[in-house]
Structure 1
Amino acid sequence: MSGFLPDEPSAEVRVSPNFGPRRDSQKPDMIVLHYTGMATGAAAEAWLCDPASEVSSHYLVHENGHVVQMVRESDRAWHAGQSSWFGRTDINSCSIGIEIVNPGHSLGYPGFPKRQITAVIELCKGIVTRHAITPQRVLAHSDVAPGRKIDPGEKFPWAALFKAGVGHLVPAAPVRRGAALKSGDRGADVETLQSMLSLYGYGVEISGIFDDRTRIVVEAFQRHFRPRRIDGIADGSTMRTLQKLLASARN
């Protein structure tokens, strides 16, 4: 990538060799946010630029807010892996991937520093403007790869992004005791839950059976939109929050 000029003017450039052309002339229409899950930002940056890793992202955001661009937005970075959204399975070809430096759940999972989140917000704003990305297509890695990935995790401050005009969110409905759908349940209510999750974009079969896949997708939904309790049980709070999201979504 000789002559690589950053899409984000404030970003440092460190070119990763791990990229290719977007397939079928696709253009980015979503942002996928990750955490690095490594002990240090320097280690993560080196790994994303190592040809042996076969992974990359378009951007890396360090704890101090420093932004590094590794792949041009016009190219296909290798960040999402096996994933899907609205039935599309080559998420790498239709997304911009942002890695956020954080050691993740296996290494203590600290909170995200304010200046790091400020940088993420400004970076996302630029990408959204350049590619006309709608709010509900600013997603977590865990949204497009439920069960396989849980990043950036329940501590990620989606509300701060939404307040700044990035992403899609509604106030989570209060958690209360009451009827809930859980593993093993069957029937029309389960089918309604699966239909709503699918309408939002999650990869779940509409079978009317609350199977393992449904539980995993409910957990992914909760991790992003109702992080107070992540248990894979579709209680009233989960259902009402999902209903409000669907009602407020715009394509």
Structure 2
Amino acid sequence: MTLKLVDHPSPNFDERNCRRPVDMVVLHYTGMPTAAAALERLSDPQAKVSSHYLIDEDGTIYRLVPEDKRAWHAGTAFWRGVRDVNARSIGIELVNPGHEFGYREFPAVQIDALIALLRDIASRHEVMPGNYVGHSDVAPLRKEDPGELFPWRRLHAAGFGRWWAADFKVSPGAPTLRAGERGGAVLELQVALDKIGYAIEGSGIYDTHTEAAVRAFQRHWRQDQVDGVSDAETTSLIHHIAEQMTVRRISSARAG
């Protein structure tokens, strides 16, 4: 697919000021009624927000900030030990009204354009599968985009991001865990969420942060249930994805 790139410069950026290379892609939805409104806001110096790219529902890609600059898209965020997510990431906004203005499925042509753009980005930056994330993954207490309708499985099929293996099964005896619970099973869940990348402390208490991380995980990997309750399937999936992340880290370390 040929990229339909339109330059629409935003003044909202600064220097990356980071010795580490770009190794993360953060996906957002615009959460505004129209593409025009989103472009205006992302280019408004008073708003102090931006992204590197915006993809309209017809597949048009707007280039707002050069990739070698830090766009202001993630805000206060964390992923896999990284606190200045903006300094290490490419931010991509997808035009969609979002949960406030009529959340809807992302058109196929829009996702086609996203995949083509990700392939283009991958020619310049090395992004590991576990570092293709949503805004809700890096800021689960504040954000819910790109949401439970975003086709993460299709991105994985195209070579971007993690998904569960074909032989995944719910673990026998996997517990259902929810807010307020305490104990070893909660601690194991928190350790697994930390391995995936979420900002979680191993307290053994199913607190607000744990509930938010579980809800963000569900938006990404268990999209038919987004309630913050880690039932047997969610619990099994969290441990399954955490194991994939761990294997990838070990393999990468050996390769290096």
Query: Which TM-score applies when normalising by structure 1?
Result: 0.92
Per-residue CA deviations over 1:189-232 (Å, capped at 9, x if unaligned) read 11100000001110011101111111111101111011111111
Pair 1:39–1:177, CA change in 2 (3 A): farther
CA distance in 1, matches of 2:153, 2:40: 31
Partner residue, 2:29:
35
Q: Aligned-pair distance for 1:170? A: 1.1
Give the letter aligned to residue 158 of structure 2. A
Partner residue, 2:74:
80
Contact 2:181 2:205 in 1 (8 A): yes
- Which of 1, 5, 8 is the equivalent residue of 1:14? 8
Pair 1:173–1:158, CA change in 2 (3 A): farther
Give the letter aligned to residue 65 of structure 1. G
Partner residue, 1:241:
237
Alignment of 1:1-251 (within 5 A): 10-170=4-164, 179-249=175-245, 250-251=248-249
CA distance in 2, matches of 1:35, 1:237: 27
Contact 1:60 1:98 in 2 (8 A): yes
CA distance in 2, matches of 1:96, 1:17: 16
CA distance in 2, matches of 1:116, 1:173: 32
Give the letter aligned to residue 220 of structure 1. A
Query: Which TM-score applies when normalising by structure 2?
Result: 0.90
CA distance in 1, matches of 2:72, 2:17: 12
CA distance in 2, matches of 1:145, 1:45: 22
CA distance in 2, matches of 1:82, 1:99: 17
Pair 1:29–1:104, CA change in 2 (3 A): same
Partner residue, 2:252:
none
Give the letter aligned to residue 78 of structure 1. W
SS of the residue aligned with 2:27?
strand
Contact 1:27 1:74 in 2 (8 A): no
Pair 1:26–1:195, CA change in 2 (3 A): same
Give the letter aligned to residue 20 of structure 2. Q
CA RMSD in angstroms comes to 2.0
Give the letter aligned to residue 54 of structure 1. K
Pair 1:220–1:176, CA change in 2 (3 A): farther
CA distance in 2, matches of 1:222, 1:128: 26
Contact 2:193 2:242 in 1 (8 A): no
Per-residue CA deviations over 1:44-63 (Å, capped at 9, x if unaligned) read 11111111110000000000
SS of the residue aligned with 1:38?
coil
Pair 1:55–1:247, CA change in 2 (3 A): same
Pair 1:85–1:178, CA change in 2 (3 A): closer
Q: Aligned-pair distance for 1:177? A: 10
Q: Aligned-pair distance for 1:248? A: 2.4
| Identity within the alignment, % | 45
Gaps of 5+ in 1: 1-7
Q: Aligned-pair distance for 1:129? A: 2.8
Pair 1:183–1:243, CA change in 2 (3 A): same
Pair 1:70–1:36, CA change in 2 (3 A): same
Number of equivalences: 244
Give the letter aligned to residue 183 of structure 1. A
Pair 1:141–1:175, CA change in 2 (3 A): farther
Gaps of 5+ in 2: 250-256
Per-residue CA deviations over 1:25-51 (Å, capped at 9, x if unaligned) read 332110000000000011111111111
